[in-house]
Amino acid sequence: DWSPASFVDTTVAELKAQLGNDRVILGLSGGVDSSVAAVLLNKAIGKNLTCIFVDHGMLRKNEFHDVLRDYESLGLNVIGVDASEKFFSELAGVTEPEKKRKIIGKGFIDVFEAEAKKITDAKWLAQGTIYPDRIESMNITGKVIKSHHNVGGLPEKMHLSLCEPLKWLFKDEVRRVGRQMQMPEHLISRHPFPGPGLAVRILGDITPEKVRVLQEADDIFIRGLREWTCEDGETLYNKVWQAGVILLPIQSVGVMGDERTYEKAVALRAVTSTDAMTADWAHLPYEFMAKVSNEIINKVKGVNRVCYDISSKPPATIEWE
């Protein structure tokens, strides 16, 4: 009978037996799954675990530094790599969604591999893969909807064995395991975030300036969700599965004072879901949306229009690319 406490005990014991004194590398993304996997492994093998956290430049505002600080305070042995320049230059001028995903996926593997190679005696690559990830990439229909980027292909290439301690769990179980290990609540309740990051939320080509604009708008939306408490005492952030802002590749006419403006439009996306396989658009309160919309238009230079995405998955997906 499953409980987070017994899962932690048996998994830590199994990891100890399986890994012995081997060195293990793990790619941290800042998300719940890889963080919980890292803390479990840290419990089992301590300093034999080296975590690598790559900044591809498409993370949320301040995310790289905030998350690195969190990891360090969890006692993890973590290496942060700022590779944003590489990604910006490789992505320049690329507009096709799958091509963008491929570039980021490959670039990520290159950076990760270069770091991982420095740990010459590593035997294992650990990942925070969970059960729904494997279902989505099994592709029962044989059709690739989106090429999800993870460290695919790398274990074979580097002659590393794969260690996936969470591979039978669902997200809610991963969160319970994290709480069981007393990880900070803001890490546990974090929304999922796609591997390619804001790159799949900037439609069209990517520039550092577009990333900056999107980071500002996204920060206002996410902070707003965290700060809005509903009647039942729960925040809007905790009520939705995932949320973010999409930067649209269009400009529209607006007016500011007595000046005509011609600036960018953004879409807010917030969904409810239990596993990301299906999702419904979140019915956010109108007063909340009015507040966020005003704040974005007033504070984010270059944006003069805010829309709300009311599509469910299927047929839409959660991300726009």
Residue from 27, 97, 194, 224 in contact with ligand XMP (CB under 6 A): 194
On whether 177 is known to bind a ligand per the annotation, the reply is no
Cα–Cα distance list, 270 to 16, 77, 104 (Å): 40, 34, 24
Instruction: Give DSSP secondary structure letters for 41-79.
Output: HHHHHGGGEEEEEEE-S-SPTTHHHHHHHHHHHTT--EE
Cβ 173 vs Cβ 129: under 8 Å: no
- Name the token pair of 180: 């069981």
On whether 31 is known to bind a ligand per the annotation, the reply is yes
Is residue 148 at the binding interface for ligand XMP, with CB under 6 A as the rule? yes
Q: Closest approach of Cβ 317 to ligand XMP, in Å?
A: 3
Cβ 127 vs Cβ 150: under 8 Å: yes
Q: Closest approach of Cβ 242 to ligand XMP, in Å?
A: 5
Comparison of 97 and 178: residue with beta carbon closer to ligand XMP: 97
Distance CA 107, CA 58 (A): 13
Comparison of 195 and 224: residue with beta carbon closer to ligand XMP: 195
Q: Number of residues in contact with ligand XMP, rule: CB under 6 A?
A: 13
Is residue 242 at the binding interface for ligand XMP, with CB under 6 A as the rule? yes
Q: Closest approach of Cβ 64 to ligand XMP, in Å?
A: 17
Comparison of 229 and 238: residue with beta carbon closer to ligand XMP: 238
Is residue 27 at the binding interface for ligand XMP, with CB under 6 A as the rule? no
Is residue 57 at the binding interface for ligand XMP, with CB under 6 A as the rule? no
On whether 30 is known to bind a ligand per the annotation, the reply is yes
Contacts of 104 (CB under 8 A, 6+ apart): 56, 58, 87, 91, 149, 195, 196, 197, 199
Cβ 70 vs Cβ 97: under 8 Å: no
Residue from 4, 192, 204, 302 in contact with ligand XMP (CB under 6 A): 192
Q: Taken in order 244, 212, 307, 228, is the CA torsion positive or negative? A: positive
On whether 34 is known to bind a ligand per the annotation, the reply is yes
- Give the gyration radius of the chain's Cα atoms: 20
Binding positions for ATP:
29-35
Residues in contact with ligand XMP by CB under 6 A are 146, 148-149, 192, 194-196, 242, 276, 313, 317-319
